[in-house]
């Protein structure tokens, strides 16, 4: 998929999730999965990505190719990324905290509704739980390790990413 990255929507989606999910569960792993659901759920409903990014099939689940670069650009200005211990104790979390508000004006109405829907659905889940959820979906299952996930595989999920066993 050779689409252009929409920097404004990408950055503001990160800021939206950082502002909205303030229960201590928003680490880098979880953010990557939230972005995945934002893009793939939207593609499933409307036939296009919002951020314009490609997602790679890595061991920890789908990872947006440009996310690390964008997080680095935002760190210290728009967000604060810090290492912290988490309750499950299996790994330190790279916690993400908003330093500024998100700009709602960069999004279309359907995109804002989807941001809210995804945040509400996944707010209580850890990054590890979200990773497990993505591993049960067609885009993950049908893609070879370390390769780009085809957005069209979103069309083979059950009802916008909701699998029967989640």
Q: What is the pLDDT of residues 113-161, one digit of tens each?
A: 999 999 999 999 988 899 999 999 999 999 999 999 999 999 998 754 4
By three-state DSSP, how is residue 99 classified? coil
Q: Is the pTM of this model over 0.75?
A: yes
Total count of residues recorded for the chain: 166
Closest CA to 41 of 106, 107, 100, 113: 113
Reported as a pLDDT band with limits 50, 70 and 90, residue 22 is confident
69-83: average pLDDT: 92
Reported as a pLDDT band with limits 50, 70 and 90, residue 108 is very high
In tens, the pLDDT along 45-75 reads 999 999 999 999 999 899 999 999 999 999 9
The total of other beta-carbon atoms located within 10 Å of residue 25's CB is: 19
The maximal CA–CA distance of the chain, rounded, in angstroms, is: 40
């Amino acid at each position: 998929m050779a689409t252009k990255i929409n920097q404004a929507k990408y950055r503001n989606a990160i800021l939206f999730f950082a502002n909205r999910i303030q229960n201590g569960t928003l680490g880098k792993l979880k953010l990557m999965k939230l972005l995945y659901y934002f893009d793939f759920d939207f593609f499933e409903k409307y036939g296009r990505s919002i951020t314009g990014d490609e997602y790679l099939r890595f061991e920890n689940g789908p990872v947006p190719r440009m996310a690390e670069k964008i997080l680095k650009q935002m760190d210290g200005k728009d967000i604060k990324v810090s290492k912290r211990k988490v309750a499950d104790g299996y790994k330190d979390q790279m916690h993400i905290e908003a330093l500024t508000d998100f700009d709602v004006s960069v999004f279309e109405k359907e995109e804002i509704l989807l941001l809210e829907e995804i945040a509400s659905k996944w707010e209580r889940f850890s990054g590890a739980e979200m990773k497990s959820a993505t591993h049960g979906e067609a885009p993950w299952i049908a893609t070879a390790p370390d390769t780009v996930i085809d957005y069209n595989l979103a069309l083979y999920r059950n009802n916008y990413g909701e699998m029967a066993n989640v």
